[in-house]
Amino acid sequence: MVTHFACYNTSARAHYCHIRVNRAGETIKATSEPIPACLSEAERILVPNKLFSFGYFSHMETNIVMSIIRATLLAFLVVLFSSSALHAESASDGTTFDVASATQAYLDRLDPEQRAASDAYFEGGYWLDLWELLYGLLIAWILLNFRISTRMRDLGEKVSRFKFLRVTSYIVQYTLIVFVVSFPWVIYRNFVREHDYGFSNLDFPDWFGEQLIGLGVSLVMSTLGIALIYLVIRKAPKTWVIWGSFAGIAMLSFVFMVSPVFINPLFNDYQSLSEGPLKENILSLARANTVPADDVFTFDASKQSTRISANVSGLFGTTRISLNDNLLNRTSPDSIQAVMGHEMGHYALNHGPKMLISFGIVMVIGFAFVRWAFDRVNKSSWGIRDVGDIAGLPLMIALFSVYLFLVSPLTNSIIRINEAEADIFGLNASRKPDGFSEAILGLSEYRKMKPGYWEEIIFFDHPSGYNRIYLSMQWKKENLESSVED
Ligand SMILES: [Zn+2]
Protein backbone atom coordinates (compact mmCIF):
# COMPACT_ATOMS: atom_id res chain seq x y z
CA MET A 1 0.00 0.00 0.00
CA VAL A 2 1.52 3.27 -1.14
CA THR A 3 0.24 6.72 -0.58
CA HIS A 4 1.00 10.34 -1.20
CA PHE A 5 2.07 12.82 1.37
CA ALA A 6 2.09 16.48 0.54
CA CYS A 7 4.64 18.27 2.59
CA TYR A 8 4.38 21.95 3.12
CA ASN A 9 6.18 24.46 5.18
CA THR A 10 4.18 27.57 5.90
CA SER A 11 7.01 29.53 7.47
CA ALA A 12 9.28 29.00 4.43
CA ARG A 13 6.89 29.10 1.48
CA ALA A 14 9.61 28.19 -0.99
CA HIS A 15 9.66 24.59 0.14
CA TYR A 16 7.06 22.21 -1.16
CA CYS A 17 7.25 18.56 -2.05
CA HIS A 18 5.15 15.48 -2.60
CA ILE A 19 6.54 12.42 -0.93
CA ARG A 20 5.42 8.95 -1.83
CA VAL A 21 5.77 6.69 1.21
CA ASN A 22 4.85 3.12 2.04
CA ARG A 23 3.20 2.03 5.24
CA ALA A 24 6.49 1.58 6.96
CA GLY A 25 7.20 5.24 6.39
CA GLU A 26 9.99 4.64 3.88
CA THR A 27 10.25 7.21 1.12
CA ILE A 28 9.76 5.70 -2.31
CA LYS A 29 9.69 8.84 -4.37
CA ALA A 30 9.82 12.56 -3.72
CA THR A 31 9.17 15.38 -6.19
CA SER A 32 11.98 17.42 -4.70
CA GLU A 33 14.56 16.78 -2.04
CA PRO A 34 12.51 16.44 1.17
CA ILE A 35 13.90 18.28 4.13
CA PRO A 36 14.25 16.29 7.40
CA ALA A 37 11.38 18.19 9.01
CA CYS A 38 9.03 16.95 6.29
CA LEU A 39 10.14 13.36 6.65
CA SER A 40 9.67 13.39 10.39
CA GLU A 41 6.27 15.04 9.86
CA ALA A 42 5.37 12.24 7.43
CA GLU A 43 6.40 9.64 9.97
CA ARG A 44 4.71 11.38 12.86
CA ILE A 45 1.36 12.03 11.27
CA LEU A 46 0.85 9.91 8.21
CA VAL A 47 2.05 6.43 8.92
CA PRO A 48 1.06 5.78 12.52
CA ASN A 49 -2.42 7.18 11.94
CA LYS A 50 -2.87 6.04 8.32
CA LEU A 51 -4.23 9.44 7.44
CA PHE A 52 -3.98 9.33 3.69
CA SER A 53 -6.08 12.40 3.11
CA PHE A 54 -3.22 14.58 4.16
CA GLY A 55 -2.29 15.08 0.54
CA TYR A 56 -5.29 17.38 0.20
CA PHE A 57 -3.31 20.18 1.68
CA SER A 58 -1.73 21.97 -1.21
CA HIS A 59 0.74 24.77 -0.97
CA MET A 60 -1.80 27.20 -2.40
CA GLU A 61 -4.63 26.23 -0.09
CA THR A 62 -2.43 26.45 2.96
CA ASN A 63 -1.53 29.97 1.96
CA ILE A 64 -5.20 30.85 1.55
CA VAL A 65 -6.00 29.43 4.97
CA MET A 66 -3.09 31.31 6.53
CA SER A 67 -4.18 34.53 4.78
CA ILE A 68 -7.72 34.09 6.09
CA ILE A 69 -6.39 33.53 9.61
CA ARG A 70 -4.14 36.60 9.37
CA ALA A 71 -7.01 38.72 8.02
CA THR A 72 -9.23 37.58 10.89
CA LEU A 73 -6.64 38.42 13.50
CA LEU A 74 -6.41 41.89 11.96
CA ALA A 75 -10.21 42.22 11.94
CA PHE A 76 -10.20 41.03 15.56
CA LEU A 77 -7.87 43.85 16.58
CA VAL A 78 -9.89 46.42 14.62
CA VAL A 79 -13.11 45.27 16.31
CA LEU A 80 -11.54 45.34 19.77
CA PHE A 81 -10.10 48.81 19.29
CA SER A 82 -13.21 50.26 17.72
CA SER A 83 -15.29 48.93 20.59
CA SER A 84 -13.23 51.08 22.93
CA ALA A 85 -15.05 54.06 21.40
CA LEU A 86 -18.06 52.96 23.45
CA HIS A 87 -16.25 54.12 26.54
CA ALA A 88 -15.54 57.66 25.42
CA GLU A 89 -16.15 59.99 28.32
CA SER A 90 -17.26 63.48 27.43
CA ALA A 91 -15.18 66.42 28.52
CA SER A 92 -16.88 68.76 30.94
CA ASP A 93 -18.03 71.92 29.19
CA GLY A 94 -19.36 73.82 32.18
CA THR A 95 -23.08 73.27 31.50
CA THR A 96 -25.34 72.42 34.40
CA PHE A 97 -26.36 68.91 33.31
CA ASP A 98 -23.60 66.54 34.38
CA VAL A 99 -23.70 63.30 32.42
CA ALA A 100 -21.63 61.26 34.88
CA SER A 101 -23.64 62.25 37.93
CA ALA A 102 -26.94 61.74 36.08
CA THR A 103 -25.71 58.25 35.18
CA GLN A 104 -24.67 57.61 38.77
CA ALA A 105 -28.07 58.79 40.00
CA TYR A 106 -29.65 56.00 37.98
CA LEU A 107 -27.23 53.41 39.33
CA ASP A 108 -27.91 54.60 42.88
CA ARG A 109 -31.53 53.61 42.47
CA LEU A 110 -30.46 49.98 42.61
CA ASP A 111 -30.45 48.18 45.89
CA PRO A 112 -26.79 47.23 46.70
CA GLU A 113 -27.76 43.69 47.70
CA GLN A 114 -29.63 43.14 44.48
CA ARG A 115 -26.69 44.54 42.52
CA ALA A 116 -24.30 42.18 44.31
CA ALA A 117 -26.59 39.28 43.41
CA SER A 118 -26.75 40.22 39.74
CA ASP A 119 -22.96 40.66 39.61
CA ALA A 120 -22.54 37.22 41.16
CA TYR A 121 -25.01 35.71 38.71
CA PHE A 122 -23.32 37.26 35.69
CA GLU A 123 -19.73 36.60 36.78
CA GLY A 124 -20.63 33.00 37.66
CA GLY A 125 -21.62 32.65 34.01
CA TYR A 126 -18.01 33.24 32.90
CA TRP A 127 -16.89 30.18 34.83
CA LEU A 128 -19.89 28.11 33.84
CA ASP A 129 -19.00 28.71 30.19
CA LEU A 130 -15.54 27.32 30.84
CA TRP A 131 -16.79 24.27 32.77
CA GLU A 132 -19.37 23.67 30.07
CA LEU A 133 -16.65 23.61 27.43
CA LEU A 134 -14.53 21.20 29.47
CA TYR A 135 -17.52 18.95 30.19
CA GLY A 136 -18.30 18.87 26.45
CA LEU A 137 -14.69 17.94 25.68
CA LEU A 138 -14.85 15.13 28.25
CA ILE A 139 -18.01 13.74 26.62
CA ALA A 140 -16.32 13.87 23.19
CA TRP A 141 -13.23 12.12 24.53
CA ILE A 142 -15.32 9.33 26.10
CA LEU A 143 -17.26 8.81 22.85
CA LEU A 144 -14.04 8.62 20.83
CA ASN A 145 -11.69 6.87 23.19
CA PHE A 146 -14.05 4.01 24.08
CA ARG A 147 -14.98 3.69 20.40
CA ILE A 148 -18.63 4.38 21.17
CA SER A 149 -18.62 6.74 18.21
CA THR A 150 -17.37 4.14 15.73
CA ARG A 151 -19.95 1.66 17.03
CA MET A 152 -22.67 4.25 16.44
CA ARG A 153 -21.39 4.67 12.88
CA ASP A 154 -21.23 0.88 12.33
CA LEU A 155 -24.80 0.54 13.57
CA GLY A 156 -25.89 3.19 11.06
CA GLU A 157 -24.10 1.28 8.30
CA LYS A 158 -25.99 -1.89 9.21
CA VAL A 159 -29.30 -0.06 9.16
CA SER A 160 -29.04 1.27 5.64
CA ARG A 161 -26.90 1.24 2.54
CA PHE A 162 -27.81 4.83 1.72
CA LYS A 163 -25.12 7.26 2.80
CA PHE A 164 -27.62 9.93 3.86
CA LEU A 165 -29.54 7.53 6.14
CA ARG A 166 -26.29 6.23 7.64
CA VAL A 167 -25.22 9.76 8.47
CA THR A 168 -28.60 10.81 9.86
CA SER A 169 -28.84 7.64 11.96
CA TYR A 170 -25.51 8.56 13.55
CA ILE A 171 -26.59 12.16 14.20
CA VAL A 172 -29.82 11.05 15.90
CA GLN A 173 -27.89 8.66 18.19
CA TYR A 174 -25.33 11.37 18.92
CA THR A 175 -27.95 14.03 19.73
CA LEU A 176 -29.80 11.68 22.10
CA ILE A 177 -26.64 10.51 23.89
CA VAL A 178 -25.35 14.05 24.36
CA PHE A 179 -28.78 15.16 25.60
CA VAL A 180 -28.78 12.42 28.25
CA VAL A 181 -25.20 12.73 29.48
CA SER A 182 -25.26 16.52 29.64
CA PHE A 183 -28.64 16.58 31.35
CA PRO A 184 -27.35 16.84 34.96
CA TRP A 185 -25.36 19.90 33.91
CA VAL A 186 -28.35 21.42 32.11
CA ILE A 187 -30.55 20.86 35.20
CA TYR A 188 -28.04 22.67 37.35
CA ARG A 189 -27.40 25.62 35.04
CA ASN A 190 -30.86 26.19 33.58
CA PHE A 191 -33.17 25.04 36.34
CA VAL A 192 -31.56 24.99 39.81
CA ARG A 193 -29.43 28.09 39.33
CA GLU A 194 -32.21 30.07 37.64
CA HIS A 195 -34.49 29.29 40.61
CA ASP A 196 -31.75 30.16 43.11
CA TYR A 197 -31.52 33.64 41.64
CA GLY A 198 -35.28 33.96 41.33
CA PHE A 199 -35.45 34.22 37.54
CA SER A 200 -37.47 31.13 36.68
CA ASN A 201 -41.21 30.76 36.94
CA LEU A 202 -41.33 27.15 35.74
CA ASP A 203 -41.84 24.10 37.91
CA PHE A 204 -39.83 21.01 37.05
CA PRO A 205 -42.42 19.14 34.92
CA ASP A 206 -43.08 22.21 32.77
CA TRP A 207 -39.38 22.95 32.49
CA PHE A 208 -38.67 19.34 31.54
CA GLY A 209 -41.44 19.47 28.92
CA GLU A 210 -39.71 22.45 27.33
CA GLN A 211 -36.41 20.57 27.30
CA LEU A 212 -38.12 17.76 25.39
CA ILE A 213 -39.57 20.20 22.85
CA GLY A 214 -36.07 21.68 22.50
CA LEU A 215 -34.67 18.18 21.96
CA GLY A 216 -37.23 17.59 19.20
CA VAL A 217 -36.30 20.85 17.48
CA SER A 218 -32.59 20.11 17.78
CA LEU A 219 -33.07 16.57 16.41
CA VAL A 220 -34.59 18.04 13.24
CA MET A 221 -32.27 21.03 12.92
CA SER A 222 -28.98 19.36 13.84
CA THR A 223 -29.73 16.35 11.65
CA LEU A 224 -30.34 18.59 8.64
CA GLY A 225 -27.43 20.92 9.37
CA ILE A 226 -24.78 18.30 10.16
CA ALA A 227 -25.86 15.99 7.32
CA LEU A 228 -25.55 18.95 4.95
CA ILE A 229 -22.01 19.77 6.18
CA TYR A 230 -20.92 16.12 5.77
CA LEU A 231 -22.46 16.04 2.31
CA VAL A 232 -20.35 19.08 1.43
CA ILE A 233 -17.22 17.43 2.86
CA ARG A 234 -17.81 14.35 0.68
CA LYS A 235 -18.60 16.31 -2.48
CA ALA A 236 -15.85 18.91 -2.10
CA PRO A 237 -13.09 17.30 -0.02
CA LYS A 238 -10.58 20.00 -0.91
CA THR A 239 -12.71 23.11 -0.55
CA TRP A 240 -15.35 22.12 2.02
CA VAL A 241 -14.10 24.77 4.43
CA ILE A 242 -15.52 27.44 2.13
CA TRP A 243 -18.62 25.62 0.82
CA GLY A 244 -19.37 24.29 4.29
CA SER A 245 -19.54 27.87 5.54
CA PHE A 246 -21.98 28.78 2.77
CA ALA A 247 -24.06 25.78 3.82
CA GLY A 248 -23.78 26.90 7.46
CA ILE A 249 -24.98 30.42 6.60
CA ALA A 250 -27.85 28.99 4.57
CA MET A 251 -28.82 26.85 7.59
CA LEU A 252 -28.58 29.82 9.97
CA SER A 253 -30.73 31.93 7.63
CA PHE A 254 -33.24 29.10 7.46
CA VAL A 255 -33.39 28.86 11.27
CA PHE A 256 -33.78 32.65 11.59
CA MET A 257 -36.53 32.61 8.98
CA VAL A 258 -38.58 29.75 10.40
CA SER A 259 -38.10 30.46 14.11
CA PRO A 260 -40.77 33.18 14.52
CA VAL A 261 -43.28 31.12 12.56
CA PHE A 262 -42.58 27.54 13.63
CA ILE A 263 -40.18 27.39 16.60
CA ASN A 264 -40.98 30.27 18.97
CA PRO A 265 -44.72 29.41 19.09
CA LEU A 266 -43.76 25.95 20.42
CA PHE A 267 -42.66 27.63 23.64
CA ASN A 268 -44.80 30.76 23.91
CA ASP A 269 -48.11 32.17 22.92
CA TYR A 270 -47.73 35.13 20.54
CA GLN A 271 -50.56 37.62 20.39
CA SER A 272 -51.05 40.83 18.54
CA LEU A 273 -50.67 43.73 21.00
CA SER A 274 -54.10 45.10 21.87
CA GLU A 275 -55.18 48.29 20.10
CA GLY A 276 -54.54 51.52 21.96
CA PRO A 277 -52.14 54.45 22.26
CA LEU A 278 -49.15 52.20 23.04
CA LYS A 279 -49.54 50.15 19.89
CA GLU A 280 -50.27 53.27 17.81
CA ASN A 281 -47.09 54.93 19.14
CA ILE A 282 -45.02 51.86 18.30
CA LEU A 283 -46.46 51.61 14.80
CA SER A 284 -45.89 55.33 14.27
CA LEU A 285 -42.26 54.85 15.34
CA ALA A 286 -42.03 51.99 12.83
CA ARG A 287 -43.45 54.09 9.96
CA ALA A 288 -41.11 56.96 10.77
CA ASN A 289 -38.12 54.63 10.54
CA THR A 290 -38.87 52.57 7.43
CA VAL A 291 -39.72 49.47 9.46
CA PRO A 292 -42.48 47.73 7.47
CA ALA A 293 -44.32 46.47 10.56
CA ASP A 294 -48.10 46.49 10.46
CA ASP A 295 -48.39 44.65 13.75
CA VAL A 296 -46.60 44.35 17.08
CA PHE A 297 -46.53 41.07 18.97
CA THR A 298 -46.43 40.32 22.62
CA PHE A 299 -45.68 36.94 24.15
CA ASP A 300 -46.16 35.33 27.54
CA ALA A 301 -42.49 35.24 28.60
CA SER A 302 -43.62 35.45 32.23
CA LYS A 303 -44.58 31.78 31.86
CA GLN A 304 -40.85 30.97 31.92
CA SER A 305 -39.08 33.83 33.61
CA THR A 306 -39.14 37.19 35.30
CA ARG A 307 -36.74 38.80 32.82
CA ILE A 308 -37.73 41.78 30.73
CA SER A 309 -36.74 41.74 27.08
CA ALA A 310 -37.87 42.31 23.53
CA ASN A 311 -36.57 41.09 20.22
CA VAL A 312 -36.63 41.31 16.50
CA SER A 313 -36.86 37.84 15.03
CA GLY A 314 -37.11 36.42 11.57
CA LEU A 315 -35.39 37.23 8.34
CA PHE A 316 -36.56 38.58 5.01
CA GLY A 317 -40.34 38.05 4.90
CA THR A 318 -40.79 36.73 8.45
CA THR A 319 -39.28 39.62 10.41
CA ARG A 320 -41.38 40.70 13.37
CA ILE A 321 -41.01 42.78 16.49
CA SER A 322 -42.06 41.15 19.75
CA LEU A 323 -42.09 42.48 23.27
CA ASN A 324 -42.33 40.18 26.21
CA ASP A 325 -45.10 40.63 28.75
CA ASN A 326 -42.62 41.32 31.57
CA LEU A 327 -41.51 44.42 29.67
CA LEU A 328 -45.12 45.34 29.08
CA ASN A 329 -46.23 44.89 32.69
CA ARG A 330 -43.18 46.07 34.59
CA THR A 331 -42.01 49.18 32.74
CA SER A 332 -43.42 52.55 31.66
CA PRO A 333 -44.77 53.41 28.17
CA ASP A 334 -41.65 55.58 27.67
CA SER A 335 -39.40 52.60 28.40
CA ILE A 336 -41.36 50.41 26.01
CA GLN A 337 -41.06 53.02 23.26
CA ALA A 338 -37.32 53.37 23.88
CA VAL A 339 -36.83 49.60 23.76
CA MET A 340 -38.92 49.36 20.59
CA GLY A 341 -36.73 52.10 19.06
CA HIS A 342 -33.70 49.91 19.82
CA GLU A 343 -35.31 46.82 18.27
CA MET A 344 -36.29 48.79 15.17
CA GLY A 345 -32.66 49.91 14.94
CA HIS A 346 -31.66 46.27 14.41
CA TYR A 347 -34.10 46.12 11.56
CA ALA A 348 -33.39 49.50 9.94
CA LEU A 349 -29.63 49.01 10.17
CA ASN A 350 -29.90 45.57 8.52
CA HIS A 351 -28.24 43.84 11.44
CA GLY A 352 -29.68 40.44 10.48
CA PRO A 353 -27.93 40.14 7.10
CA LYS A 354 -24.80 41.87 8.44
CA MET A 355 -24.55 39.40 11.30
CA LEU A 356 -24.94 36.50 8.89
CA ILE A 357 -21.98 37.79 6.89
CA SER A 358 -19.88 38.37 10.02
CA PHE A 359 -20.67 34.92 11.36
CA GLY A 360 -20.06 33.41 7.93
CA ILE A 361 -16.50 34.74 8.16
CA VAL A 362 -16.14 33.44 11.72
CA MET A 363 -17.38 30.07 10.44
CA VAL A 364 -14.90 29.87 7.54
CA ILE A 365 -12.03 30.44 9.96
CA GLY A 366 -13.54 27.90 12.34
CA PHE A 367 -13.78 25.23 9.65
CA ALA A 368 -10.22 26.03 8.52
CA PHE A 369 -9.11 25.55 12.13
CA VAL A 370 -11.05 22.28 12.41
CA ARG A 371 -9.53 20.95 9.19
CA TRP A 372 -6.05 21.95 10.33
CA ALA A 373 -6.45 20.49 13.84
CA PHE A 374 -8.45 17.35 12.98
CA ASP A 375 -5.53 15.24 11.72
CA ARG A 376 -3.26 16.52 14.44
CA VAL A 377 -5.56 15.53 17.29
CA ASN A 378 -7.09 12.39 15.80
CA LYS A 379 -5.74 9.07 17.09
CA SER A 380 -5.70 5.87 15.06
CA SER A 381 -7.08 3.96 18.05
CA TRP A 382 -10.32 5.96 17.74
CA GLY A 383 -11.06 4.26 14.41
CA ILE A 384 -12.07 7.38 12.47
CA ARG A 385 -11.44 6.79 8.75
CA ASP A 386 -10.96 10.39 7.69
CA VAL A 387 -12.37 13.88 8.19
CA GLY A 388 -15.46 12.95 6.15
CA ASP A 389 -16.26 9.98 8.42
CA ILE A 390 -19.31 10.77 10.55
CA ALA A 391 -17.70 8.85 13.45
CA GLY A 392 -15.38 11.87 13.74
CA LEU A 393 -18.30 14.18 14.61
CA PRO A 394 -17.44 14.36 18.36
CA LEU A 395 -13.92 15.47 17.42
CA MET A 396 -15.24 18.02 14.91
CA ILE A 397 -17.65 19.46 17.47
CA ALA A 398 -15.01 19.45 20.22
CA LEU A 399 -12.57 21.37 18.00
CA PHE A 400 -15.25 23.79 16.86
CA SER A 401 -16.32 24.41 20.49
CA VAL A 402 -12.74 25.17 21.50
CA TYR A 403 -12.53 27.59 18.57
CA LEU A 404 -15.80 29.31 19.47
CA PHE A 405 -14.70 29.60 23.08
CA LEU A 406 -11.40 31.19 22.06
CA VAL A 407 -13.00 33.67 19.65
CA SER A 408 -15.89 34.51 22.00
CA PRO A 409 -14.38 37.98 22.74
CA LEU A 410 -14.55 38.60 18.98
CA THR A 411 -18.09 37.26 18.50
CA ASN A 412 -19.27 39.08 21.65
CA SER A 413 -17.72 42.28 20.28
CA ILE A 414 -19.39 41.86 16.87
CA ILE A 415 -22.78 41.54 18.59
CA ARG A 416 -22.06 44.26 21.14
CA ILE A 417 -21.12 46.78 18.43
CA ASN A 418 -24.42 46.06 16.66
CA GLU A 419 -26.25 46.49 19.96
CA ALA A 420 -24.51 49.83 20.58
CA GLU A 421 -25.59 50.98 17.09
CA ALA A 422 -29.17 49.96 17.87
CA ASP A 423 -28.97 51.90 21.16
CA ILE A 424 -28.00 55.09 19.36
CA PHE A 425 -30.64 54.50 16.69
CA GLY A 426 -33.27 53.86 19.36
CA LEU A 427 -32.48 57.05 21.26
CA ASN A 428 -32.66 59.14 18.10
CA ALA A 429 -35.86 57.46 17.01
CA SER A 430 -37.79 57.38 20.29
CA ARG A 431 -36.20 60.42 21.97
CA LYS A 432 -36.75 58.82 25.38
CA PRO A 433 -33.37 58.82 27.17
CA ASP A 434 -34.95 58.41 30.62
CA GLY A 435 -37.30 55.70 29.41
CA PHE A 436 -34.34 53.84 27.97
CA SER A 437 -32.30 54.24 31.17
CA GLU A 438 -35.18 52.85 33.22
CA ALA A 439 -35.43 49.84 30.94
CA ILE A 440 -31.68 49.29 31.31
CA LEU A 441 -32.08 49.33 35.10
CA GLY A 442 -34.60 46.52 34.65
CA LEU A 443 -32.04 44.50 32.68
CA SER A 444 -29.56 44.93 35.52
CA GLU A 445 -31.34 42.13 37.35
CA TYR A 446 -29.46 39.62 35.22
CA ARG A 447 -26.58 41.65 33.78
CA LYS A 448 -23.66 43.16 35.62
CA MET A 449 -24.07 46.95 35.46
CA LYS A 450 -20.53 48.24 35.63
CA PRO A 451 -17.86 45.76 34.50
CA GLY A 452 -14.20 46.54 33.97
CA TYR A 453 -13.01 47.73 30.57
CA TRP A 454 -11.63 44.37 29.33
CA GLU A 455 -14.33 42.43 31.15
CA GLU A 456 -16.89 44.19 28.96
CA ILE A 457 -14.95 43.53 25.75
CA ILE A 458 -14.38 39.86 26.53
CA PHE A 459 -17.65 38.77 28.12
CA PHE A 460 -20.41 41.22 27.15
CA ASP A 461 -22.55 40.77 24.06
CA HIS A 462 -24.41 44.00 24.91
CA PRO A 463 -22.90 47.27 26.12
CA SER A 464 -22.85 47.34 29.92
CA GLY A 465 -25.76 48.98 31.71
CA TYR A 466 -23.50 51.77 32.87
CA ASN A 467 -22.39 52.62 29.32
CA ARG A 468 -25.93 52.44 27.97
CA ILE A 469 -27.26 54.83 30.62
CA TYR A 470 -24.23 57.07 30.13
CA LEU A 471 -24.97 57.20 26.41
CA SER A 472 -28.62 58.06 27.15
CA MET A 473 -27.62 60.86 29.50
CA GLN A 474 -25.16 62.19 26.98
CA TRP A 475 -27.92 62.16 24.38
CA LYS A 476 -30.25 63.91 26.82
CA LYS A 477 -27.71 66.62 27.55
CA GLU A 478 -26.92 67.35 23.90
CA ASN A 479 -30.58 67.40 22.91
CA LEU A 480 -31.65 69.49 25.89
CA GLU A 481 -29.03 72.04 24.90
CA SER A 482 -30.08 72.13 21.27
CA SER A 483 -33.69 72.68 22.28
CA VAL A 484 -32.60 75.56 24.53
CA GLU A 485 -30.66 77.10 21.62
CA ASP A 486 -33.61 76.73 19.27
ZN1 LIG B 1 -30.62 44.57 20.66
DSSP track, 69-128: HHHHHHHHHHHHHHHGGGGPPPPP-S-S--HHHHHHHHHHTS-HHHHHHHHHHHHHHHHH
- What residues have CB less than 8 Å from 25, skipping those under 6 apart? 42, 43, 46, 47
For residues 125 and 176, membership in a common domain is answered with yes
Taking the centre of ligand 1 as the mean of its atom positions, its distance from the CA of residue 437, in whole angstroms, is 14
For residues 7 and 143, membership in a common domain is answered with no
Taking the centre of ligand 1 as the mean of its atom positions, its distance from the CA of residue 421, in whole angstroms, is 9
Taking the centre of ligand 1 as the mean of its atom positions, its distance from the CA of residue 339, in whole angstroms, is 9
pLDDT at 2 (0 to 100): 35
pLDDT at 400 (0 to 100): 95
Taking the centre of ligand 1 as the mean of its atom positions, its distance from the CA of residue 347, in whole angstroms, is 10
Taking the centre of ligand 1 as the mean of its atom positions, its distance from the CA of residue 340, in whole angstroms, is 10
Taking the centre of ligand 1 as the mean of its atom positions, its distance from the CA of residue 311, in whole angstroms, is 7
Distance CA 347, CA 155 (A): 47
Query: Which domain range does residue 401 map to?
Result: 69-269+350-485
For residues 26 and 149, membership in a common domain is answered with no
Taking the centre of ligand 1 as the mean of its atom positions, its distance from the CA of residue 422, in whole angstroms, is 6
Taking the centre of ligand 1 as the mean of its atom positions, its distance from the CA of residue 412, in whole angstroms, is 13
Distances (CA, A) of 18 to 3, 8, 64, 92, 297: 10, 9, 19, 67, 62
Phi, psi dihedrals of residue 4, rounded to the nearest 5°? -95, 150
For residues 37 and 93, membership in a common domain is answered with no
Taking the centre of ligand 1 as the mean of its atom positions, its distance from the CA of residue 341, in whole angstroms, is 10
**Containing H/E element for 313?**
strand 310-313
Task: Determine how many CB atoms are found less than 10 A away from the CB of residue 444.
Answer: 23
Distance CA 285, CA 291 (A): 8
Final residue in a domain of this structure, among 57, 79, 101: 57
Domain for residue 324, yes or no?
A: no
For residues 48 and 137, membership in a common domain is answered with no
Taking the centre of ligand 1 as the mean of its atom positions, its distance from the CA of residue 296, in whole angstroms, is 16
Around ion ligand 1, residues with a beta carbon closer than 5 Å are 419, 422
Taking the centre of ligand 1 as the mean of its atom positions, its distance from the CA of residue 345, in whole angstroms, is 8
pLDDT tens by residue, the chain, 486 residues: 333 333 333 333 333 445 555 556 566 555 555 555 555 555 554 443 333 323 223 333 445 555 555 565 566 555 555 554 444 444 445 567 899 999 999 999 988 888 888 888 889 999 999 999 999 999 999 999 999 999 999 998 888 888 888 899 999 999 999 999 999 999 999 999 988 888 888 889 999 999 999 999 999 998 999 999 999 999 998 899 999 999 989 888 888 888 888 888 888 888 888 898 988 999 999 889 888 777 888 888 888 888 888 877 777 777 788 888 888 888 899 999 999 999 999 989 989 889 999 999 999 999 999 999 999 999 989 989 888 899 999 999 999 999 999 999 999 999 999 999 999 999 999 999 999 999 999 888 788 889 999 999 999 999 999 999 999 999 999 987 655 444
Domain for residue 339, yes or no?
A: no
Contact (Cβ atoms closer than 8 angstroms) between residue 330 and residue 442: yes
pLDDT at 341 (0 to 100): 93
Distance CA 126, CA 189 (A): 12
Distance CA 75, CA 73 (A): 5
Taking the centre of ligand 1 as the mean of its atom positions, its distance from the CA of residue 419, in whole angstroms, is 5
For residues 391 and 428, membership in a common domain is answered with yes
Domain for residue 433, yes or no?
A: yes
Taking the centre of ligand 1 as the mean of its atom positions, its distance from the CA of residue 469, in whole angstroms, is 15
SS3 297: strand
Final residue in a domain of this structure, among 57, 79, 96: 57
Taking the centre of ligand 1 as the mean of its atom positions, its distance from the CA of residue 342, in whole angstroms, is 6
Taking the centre of ligand 1 as the mean of its atom positions, its distance from the CA of residue 369, in whole angstroms, is 30
Dihedral in degrees, nearest 10, Cα atoms 328, 329, 333, 338: -50
The type of residue at 120 is A
Taking the centre of ligand 1 as the mean of its atom positions, its distance from the CA of residue 398, in whole angstroms, is 30
Taking the centre of ligand 1 as the mean of its atom positions, its distance from the CA of residue 343, in whole angstroms, is 6
Taking the centre of ligand 1 as the mean of its atom positions, its distance from the CA of residue 117, in whole angstroms, is 24
Question: How many CA within 13 A on the CB side of residue 379?
Answer: 9
Burial readout 15-26 (b: 16 or more C-beta within 10 A, e: otherwise): bbbebebeeeee
In the chain, how many domains are there?
2
Domain for residue 188, yes or no?
A: yes
pLDDT at 407 (0 to 100): 95
For residues 26 and 6, membership in a common domain is answered with yes
Domain for residue 117, yes or no?
A: yes
For residues 380 and 437, membership in a common domain is answered with yes
Dihedral in degrees, nearest 10, Cα atoms 413, 251, 167, 5: -60
Beta bridge partners of 323: 298, 310
For residues 252 and 357, membership in a common domain is answered with yes
For residues 50 and 87, membership in a common domain is answered with no
Domain for residue 334, yes or no?
A: no
Taking the centre of ligand 1 as the mean of its atom positions, its distance from the CA of residue 427, in whole angstroms, is 13
Taking the centre of ligand 1 as the mean of its atom positions, its distance from the CA of residue 199, in whole angstroms, is 20
For residues 98 and 174, membership in a common domain is answered with yes
Taking the centre of ligand 1 as the mean of its atom positions, its distance from the CA of residue 471, in whole angstroms, is 15
Taking the centre of ligand 1 as the mean of its atom positions, its distance from the CA of residue 186, in whole angstroms, is 26
Taking the centre of ligand 1 as the mean of its atom positions, its distance from the CA of residue 88, in whole angstroms, is 21
Distance CA 284, CA 408 (A): 37
Taking the centre of ligand 1 as the mean of its atom positions, its distance from the CA of residue 375, in whole angstroms, is 40
- What residues have CB less than 8 Å from 140, skipping those under 6 apart? 394, 395, 397, 398
Domain for residue 333, yes or no?
A: no
The type of residue at 321 is I
Taking the centre of ligand 1 as the mean of its atom positions, its distance from the CA of residue 394, in whole angstroms, is 33
Taking the centre of ligand 1 as the mean of its atom positions, its distance from the CA of residue 242, in whole angstroms, is 29
Domain for residue 241, yes or no?
A: yes
For residues 437 and 480, membership in a common domain is answered with yes
